[in-house]
Each structure stands twice: as C-alpha cells, then as structure tokens.
Chain A
C-alpha cells in the first residue's frame, strides 16, 4: 500500500469564459521514503494537482477524483476540520517563493512555533527548544538569533531553509516541494537540494519535487512523472526516463536541453501548449508531435502498461526492444 494513492484526479477551474481543466485524470502513487519528481512546463498542472491534494485551491476550483488515500486515510471524503489536522502535520508543503510565502509581519521564529503549537500542542519552552533544533537541522547558523529575525532580514536561501524547517516541524510523512529552488542561485540551490535529500534519509519521509528543471530531476529524483497540459503522459524511474523516454513529448523535451545538443542548432518542439480554447480532440500533444497521424488527432490515447512508462501514446518511443523480447 503506497503512502499516497491518487486515482483519476481532475481539477476544473470556473473562469469567466467557461470551465478550464487544469488537471486531467491523473493517477499517482508515492511510497514512503521515495523521491518522486513531477516535471512539466508552465501550465501543465503539476502544482495544481498537489495543491488540490493539500486542499489549498480557491473556491473556483472543482476537484474530482475516484480515490485520494494518504496513509490509509481517505482524504477525498474527509471533512475540512479533520483534513486540517493532517495538512501541515503529516502532509507538508514548501513553496517556490520563500520571500512571499512567509508572513512579513511576524518573525520566522513565531511562524515556526505556530505549527508546533497548533499540531503538537507543545509548551512554550518546548516549542523554543524544538525550533532551535529544527533551525540547526536545516543548517541555519546562529539559530537562537535568527528565530527573532523577520523574513526581510534574511536572504532567499535562509528564508527557504526557514520554510523547510517549518514544513518538517511536525515530522511529516510526505513533503511536497513546489519548485523549492527556482528562485535561488545555483550554489544555494545545491545546498537546499542536498538538505532535502539528507532530511529524507534521516526521517524516511516521502518527497515530491515539483520542478521544470531537468538537471534537478536527474540529480535528485528516483522516479519521475512527466505532465503535459494537465495530463500525466509518462512515469518512469529516473535513469530509464533519461535513457529511454517512451512518450514523444518526454523525448522532445530531453532533446531540447542545451547540454544534450550535438550541434549548434538545437532540436525544437514547434507550437505551444494548448490553452483553454484550442484543446485538441485526440492526444493533447498531437499538434506538436512529429509522429502524430490521423488516429492521434481524433482519439485520446489511454495510458500504456508500466513497461512502457504508462505513456499516453499510440506509438511509444523506444518500444521495439521490449516488444521483440
């Protein structure tokens, strides 16, 4: 039984011009202690699916799913108060912009102790001791002093560490990191990614890493799920994904990486991600896919088996050697 099991999750937003499907029939399993990366371009629904899980979407969103089970508890039919006890406690999330996700009116110490008070009901002295311990754990020097600092007095890297300390305050079973390093410099990014991997090793929590950076995926993740226009188009172990991508989108995305370029001109993906009004009838990637034919354009493909990375494609790449054997 996986730690988190999502089946057929869809999220629709009510917009002025009609419903917009941001997440479309996503299935996802996450096991205890594993690092799953969700990659996709902007608008691929990678953040929205996790926000839906956390119950953090605005009222314009309609979340539907066949099943969302976290740690043997049914999140889907749970009332809001029961969910509040899980979110922030066993299920925690860190966000992209450390500067704007911390409250500027309170010290970081106050903000981290709030979680300890609400979820763990610790006393004042215990809270203080635990907050110092957490700051040490995430590598903030001089924790006693930093607890009384306001977010604007700390650098981006330090704020992100404070966010991580807050998220792991209640020893979550699953930590969702939404682009945790996108706003940071590379040397700081390396520190934060190492920190997350170390915490995973120490605490055995599951880690979901939402990112668009293929380099971060390759270095950090164990399993990768690729999303495109709201759908999960492929999922594989990280090594297999980079060596033998099955969905043409994954293949094209990897080819477009400058560091994989073999010549001066890079391979490109023509066209853009479909929007609200030009959603194709068949495969969502078909307008941009160089392998697409009439069938792709008219019929949406169902996910293939696990041996083909659950690819939503009629003509998966790198399939021959497996079919032949």
Chain B
C-alpha cells in the first residue's frame, strides 16, 4: 500500500459548454475544476459529495469515458492520452450504480462476462468460457448461473455480475460509482464484503464514489470530499472522519443520521442549497452557506496544500486538536 501510486491525477478538469439558448452566448460549466489524487494498489480512495459536485464526472474521466479538458492523468507512470485509451481501458474498469440498467437483458450471463474478452483479447472460445466460469465462482455465484438471463437475478446478484464483468480483464483499478446505493441493507453488506475480499485477493485499487458516509467510513482508506467540482478536503479516512478540517465536511458528517437512538448530536444546519454550477461564487464556493465565512472567503479561493490531511479553507476546524497522523 506504500509503493508508487497506480494512478495519479494532477489538476484534472472537465468543462462542459452549456448553450444559453438562441442568440445567447454559451457558458462553461466546470463540472470538475482541478483535482489532484493518487490511487494505490490494494487501497480504496473514496470520493464523497452531494449531487452535482462532480463525482460522477470524475468517475467517467478516470475510466476513460470522457477526456479531461485540462490536467493530466497517469496510469502506472504512463500518461493517459486519448490515443492509448483502447489499451489502457483494460486496466481501469467501472461498476455502475444501477444493476438493473447496466446489464443487457438480451444476453446470457456467460455472454456478458465473455464479451470483454472477445473484444480485447485473443483467447480461444474454450479459454474465454473457463475464465468466465472461474470469475462466477470468485464473485460468489453458482456455475449454473452461466446460462441464465439478467432478469432471473436479484439486485444483489446483478451487482455481483457487474463486478465480475469489470474484473474479466484483470484490471488494476476498479471505479465503483455508487455500487451499493441501489441495494437493500441486507444485500449491501454482502456486496461490501465481496469488494473487500476481492481487493485483498487481487490487490485492486478502488475509486469508490458514494454519498453514503457510513459506507465510506467502512470501506475507504483515503477520502476526498468534493463540493461544486473542487476537492474541499482530502486525507486519510480516520483523520477526515474524526477531525474534519473543512466546515462543509463537518456539516456533512453532522447531517448524516446515525443509527443510534438518543446519541448526543449537534447537527449543523446548513442554510440554503447548492448554488448552480453555472454561477459558482467567487472565492470559496462554500462561502454562501458557511457559518464562518468572512470577507476573505468571498474574495479569494482557498486551496489544498500538500499535507496528507488538508482542507481548502482559510479558517479550518479542529486545528487545535492535532489529529493522530497530521504530521506523519
């Protein structure tokens, strides 16, 4: 977990042009505005944030579905450029949120699993089939499921199939875009266990995108908190959860309901809502909702520094109580 990162992103950005309508200028929507992160083998990088913060755009850039507008992405030290996508995609695979929409209802499970091999490898039919059958066992499905169709499976089993499909090409990085949020609680824990087990066995690097903080707290090693396309806080899981620096992280944690009746809680009420991503305020994007905002926050954009646990904030929280690995 300490060796060189498998994937590195520096100042990753993705902008969209939004047409303003007839005779109006189109405007630029910065869905992701400058992200730095490292992904390491056998470790999980979790990206959390509310809807519209750019976490799914990030997933699409990392899995080479969309090209970053600016910034660089490297995989195993090699830069990811569009010309090499076809080769590089084998090492980065993605699992989507909705297991009902992401499997072709007209294909048998076996066909679904063998498809990536048909397209990307020169394995013979028998080899492909053997590999797919082995993979079924690895994700906890039974051999007889090979010839069935997706509609015969429950949500949890479908998500296992989606994970199996993503693993068929032996990827190094698995991007998980809300992999358990469409599942019931009793199924969710089984899928999380499967992911942890696979990570340990195959030394996979996970980019885990979620809005569910209790799941992130369980599975993550490193956490990035995003707000309006920017990382507002980044750090090891324990530090971010126990002593968040950024007021937004603190508010997010306090707003997450805890399954503990009567637990002492101090809920920070955020006033207002996410501003439109088309008109992000100058200065700190969180300033209009922040209870600590001052004139400086509205004028200047705070940035992350190079510490392991860092927040983009001029007046961070929890500074007096040094967190365990703040200076490590």
Contacts and interface: CB of A to CB of B under 8 A. Distances in A.
Contacts, number: 117
Given A215-B256, A216-B257, A266-B218, A185 B186 contact: no
B156 to A, nearest CB: 7
B82 to A, nearest CB: 33
Contacts of B261: 218-219, 238-239, 241-242
Given A42-B184, A219-B258, A185 B189 contact: no
Contacts of A189: 255, 257
B211 A258 contact: no
A187 B255 contact: yes
Contacts of B214: 215, 257-259
B25 interface: no
Contacts of A185: 50-51, 211, 274
B250 to A, nearest CB: 11
Contacts of B270: 187, 190-191
Contacts of B17: none
Contacts of B187: 272
A319 interface: no
A277 to B, nearest CB: 12
Contact of A157 (B186, B215, B252, B273): B273
Contact of A187 (B185, B196, B251, B260): B251
B269 interface: yes
A97 interface: no
A252 interface: yes
Contact of B184 (A186, A194, A212, A218): A212
A74 to B, nearest CB: 35
Interface in B196-239: 196-197, 211, 213-215, 217-219
A35 B29 CA distance: 43
Contacts of A241: 261
Interface string A149-192: 00000010110000000000000000000000000011111110
A256 B258 contact: no
A243 to B, nearest CB: 8
Interface of A is mostly: helix
Contacts of B50: 185-188
B273 to A, nearest CB: 5
B252 A186 contact: yes
Given A218-B261, A257-B259, A188 B154 contact: no
A309 B261 CA distance: 17
B189 A187 contact: no
A273 B154 CA distance: 10
A265 interface: yes
Nearest to A240: B261
Interface string A247-267: 000001110111111001111
B69 interface: no
Contacts of A265: 193, 196-197
B273 A259 contact: no
How many B residues are at the interface, by size bracket?
Answer: 35 or more
Contact of A257 (B185, B213, B219, B255): B185
A91 B20 CA distance: 44
B2 to A, nearest CB: 19
A258 B260 contact: no
A219 B187 CA distance: 23
Contact of A191 (B256, B259, B262, B269): B269
A120 interface: no
A72 interface: no
Contacts of A41: 184-186
Contacts of A219: 257-258, 261, 265
B185 A272 contact: no
A129 interface: no
B216 to A, nearest CB: 9
A266 B156 contact: no
A261 B267 contact: no
Contact of A186 (B154, B188, B256, B265): B256
A191 to B, nearest CB: 7
A260 B262 contact: no
> Which 8 pairs, one residue from A and one from B, show the smallest C-beta to C-beta distance?
A215-B257, A258-B218, A190-B255, A185-B50, A266-B189, A41-B184, A269-B186, A256-B189
10 contacts: A41-B185, A157-B273, A187-B50, A190-B255, A215-B256, A218-B258, A218-B261, A254-B259, A266-B192, A268-B190
Interface of B: 50-51, 154, 156, 184-190, 192-193, 196-197, 211, 213-215, 217-219, 251-252, 254-263, 265, 267, 269-270, 273-274
Given A190-B254, A257-B214, A266-B189, 20 more contacts: A185-B51, A186-B50, A186-B211, A188-B50, A190-B267, A194-B269, A213-B257, A215-B257, A219-B265, A238-B261, A241-B261, A252-B186, A257-B185, A259-B214, A259-B258, A265-B196, A268-B189, A269-B186, A269-B189, A273-B184
